[in-house]
Amino acid sequence: MRFFQYGTGARCLVRTLTILAAVALLGFSESNAHAQANPFGNPPNVVDEVLFVEGATALLSTAQAEGIIASADKSSIELAQGAATGTVTLAPIASPFPFNEMIPSWNGTAPEGAGFRVWMRTGDGKQFTPWFEAGTWGQVGDAVTSRIATFPGGQYDIDHLQLQRPASQIEVRIDMVRGKPTGPSPRFQMLALAITNSLGDRKLGRQFGAKSSPLSTSVRSLRTTETLNPGFRSQVVDKKAWIGRICSPASVGMAIDAFGGATPTQTLAAMLYDPASDLFGIWHRSISGAAQMGVRGYIRRFRSFDDVRAELAQGHIICASVRFALGEVKNPPRIYRKRGTLGHIFVIKGFAPGGLVVVNDSASKDYGRDNLWTQEDLAKAWFDKGGVAYVFTGPAQQAAKRTTKQKDVKKAGGKKG
């Protein structure tokens, strides 16, 4: 995967699945559980990229803005002085290849009484989908009643887009609001679009596809352990009804811990909870929660452990979205000896000698720390189920120090449809 930077600046679930029978876990008992079940796979010739628009200069470049200006430090956009509302439509974003799947994420902050709403549409420059709401953060006024938008040729399901006909452009509009014109403004710092072509196009696969195999020869040759220190959290909190549902907040909490934060898991879960969908693990909300706590992050998709090691080498924390049936993986950690998972998020901590993957898993307070996965097993549970992950890169104030993999690309030309 390559990364693209636009401009000059630089669940637990997608769909709720109620498990009627109580599931016995080592460490706690989970009942009426909600599991993350993403719909993605890992077909031949799959191609992934992440497109970034970050910082006020990039966000406002050739954009149409009303009531929105650059922040004083140019790190973000915000409401103009005296404006209670504002909107900005970014310049059309061109993808380097046609895509049929997209997972958006963003970084922003919303003080009490303020918030923002993100709208998107995709197309080929001539024909576009309708505008759909991609997500909100903070207080945006009218209550959101649905997170699913269905339209001819596709659907945006809570936090991810699937198209029947590939698109080559993305348009984004951000609406901001605050309770009082003189109150503190929400800020929007960065947009990240994880796009994928999963249609089996061999030419695209040769041009943009992974250059290394899923299993890493270089990692397997390790004789010493290479790990980060994200700390460990379990899903056991005072609100017992939440215990089986908050793997995503617990994992985000571990990432925040790694960069000096200390938000309690239950507090973070309450922040990430979305009443409209009754979920704690909406992907872009997990990224937003970390951003609210001062940690930069985004969503990307992994297909090889060489890419995983490259992220860890930069000190980044990875939270992986996995799913697997009982018996699908040969040597699962102790937590999963008697069950699989319809969907789960845990933290990739690093690599042990021989290439074993070290994981902190909130599913068990007693046996979740430093779990060991073989690369073969984790590839089945993660890469083959879409490879979706949160990547947290560090404190937001260091965002100006771009990762070396991000590259500038051009914005889409032509008029808006």
The DSSP output letter for 404 is T
* Helix%, strand%, coil% for the chain, nearest 5: 20, 40, 45
Q: Using CA atoms, how far apart are residues 199 and 415, in angstroms rounded to an integer?
A: 28
CA angle 317/52/134 to nearest 5° reads 90
Q: pTM of the entire structure? A: 0.90
Q: What is the CATH number of domain 217-398?
A: 3.90.70.10
State CA 379 to chain mean position distance. Answer: 19
Which residues touch 139 (CB under 8 Å, ≥6 apart)?
A: 110, 112, 113, 114, 115, 177, 179
How many distinct helices (H) and strands (E) make up the chain?
8, 23
Q: Is the dihedral of CA 266, 272, 277, 279 positive or negative?
A: negative
Q: Which stretches in the chain have pLDDT values below 50?
A: 8-35, 400, 403-405, 407-410, 414-417
Residue 401 has what pLDDT? 52
Amino acid at 244: G
Written as one string, the DSSP assignment of 228-245 is: -------S--SSGGGGGG
Alpha helix (H) residue ranges in 259-350: 265-272, 283-292, 305-313
The phi, psi pair for 103, rounded to 5°, reads -125, 110
Which 3 state secondary structure label does DSSP give 280? coil
Cβ–Cβ < 8 Å for 28, 376: no
pLDDT of 340: 92
Q: What's the pLDDT score for residue 41?
A: 95
**Domain residue ranges in the chain:** 2-10+41-210+405-409, 217-398
- In this prediction, residue 4 carries a pLDDT of 58
Q: Who contacts 257 (Cβ-Cβ below 8 Å, separation ≥6)?
A: 230, 231, 233
147 and 82 Cβ atoms separated by less than 8 Å: no
Element (H, E) at 397: none
The answer to whether the 2-10+41-210+405-409 and 217-398 domains have the same CATH topology is no
User: Does CATH place domain 2-10+41-210+405-409 in 2.40.50?
Assistant: no
pLDDT recorded at residue 212 = 78
Cα–Cα distance between 109 and 287 in angstroms, integer? 11
